[in-house]
């Protein structure tokens, strides 16, 4: 009569499944957020490396970064299309991250100014992070306001209830 009977076994399985139901979503969100932070820092550092390589006139050339949804590439050349492929450094992005904004940035020699300015925004689930490249060549993280549809709808209703914009 020692051991577990059928009801006790079902109870243990039920408790374990309840715990997994709570822990699994939290751990997946944590994983997505960590991937987003890690790859945002990776792109930020790659942009800074391209800028430093160009400013130091390494290999007597300009350097830039090309960003796609599945990877980002540090390249040597005046543009991604006219690059020297043998110097490419390719970094993969996980499928859970999507990228919008600037896709190609090339830095000028000596001053390190970019050929284009703007933001690179990385998204993963409900979280986003942005990298700003300004006209002086400063590459930095910038805050991204969270997108909460319920707050936007409330603000819209509040502003339009009395007919005043």
- Domain map (residue ranges) of the chain: 6-158
The residues, any chain, with a CB within 8 Å of residue 51's CB and separated by 6 or more, are: 63, 107, 112, 114, 137, 139
Residues 73 and 91 sit within 8 Å (Cβ to Cβ) = yes
Is the pLDDT reported for residue 61 higher than 60? yes
Is the pLDDT reported for residue 155 higher than 50? no
pTM, whole model, 2 decimals? 0.79
Residues 107 and 46 sit within 8 Å (Cβ to Cβ) = no
* Top-level class of domain 6-158: alpha beta
Residues 68-76, mean pLDDT to the nearest whole number:
96
Residues 113-127, mean pLDDT to the nearest whole number:
94
Closest CA to 120 of 134, 128, 130, 135: 130
């Amino acid at each position: 009569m020692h051991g577990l009977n059928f009801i006790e076994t079902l109870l243990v399985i039920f408790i374990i499944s309840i715990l997994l139901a709570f822990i699994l979503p939290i751990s997946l969100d944590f994983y997505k957020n960590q991937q987003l932070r890690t790859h945002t820092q990776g792109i930020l550092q790659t942009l800074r490396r391209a800028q430093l390589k160009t400013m130091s006139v390494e290999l007597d050339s300009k350097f830039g970064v090309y960003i796609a949804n599945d990877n980002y590439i540090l390249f040597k050349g005046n543009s991604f299309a006219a690059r020297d492929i043998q110097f490419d450094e390719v970094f993969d992005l996980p499928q859970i991250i999507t990228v919008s904004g600037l896709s190609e940035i090339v830095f000028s020699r000596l001053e390190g100014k970019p050929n284009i300015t703007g933001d690179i925004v990385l998204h993963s689930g409900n979280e986003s992070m942005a990298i700003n490249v300004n006209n002086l060549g400063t590459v930095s993280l910038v805050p991204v306001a969270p997108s909460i549809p319920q707050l936007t709808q409330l603000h819209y209703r509040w502003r339009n209830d009395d007919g005043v914009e």
